[in-house]
């Protein structure tokens, strides 16, 4: 997590999880996302419409071989752990 890498597609336990609750940072346990804001992106990773207010920070990537140039990385505001990427091809506000 803290080194900016992501788990392989469809290997994480949270992608198919449909339990109600709060998703927290694996490194510092900060509250990050609410289950009601989760949606199925068909990408094999847990995906959310929005985060808990002030819980997630954003940083634009310059792009590498494994990232789309338009990707924006997201991280835990409490500890800086890399959480994944935001892409412009997702659904609208509540899509």
Residue 82's pLDDT is 87
Per-residue pLDDT of the chain (95 residues; tens, 9 = 90+): 444 555 555 555 666 677 899 989 989 999 999 989 887 766 666 788 889 999 999 887 665 555 566 678 889 999 999 888 776 655 555 44
Let me know if 48 is exposed, middle or buried by CB neighbors in 10 A (0-12, 13-18, 19+): buried
How far, in Å, CA of 70 to CA of 85, rounded? 10
Model pTM?
A: 0.71
């Amino acid at each position: 997590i803290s080194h900016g890498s992501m788990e392989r597609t469809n290997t994480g336990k949270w992608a198919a999880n449909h339990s109600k609750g709060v998703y927290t940072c694996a490194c510092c346990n900060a509250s990050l996302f609410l289950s009601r804001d989760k949606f199925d992106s068909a990408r094999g990773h847990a995906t959310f419409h929005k985060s808990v207010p002030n819980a997630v920070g954003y940083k634009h990537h310059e792009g590498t071989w494994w990232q789309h140039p338009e990707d924006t990385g997201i991280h835990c505001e409490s500890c800086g752990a890399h959480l994944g990427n935001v892409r412009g091809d997702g659904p609208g506000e509540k899509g």
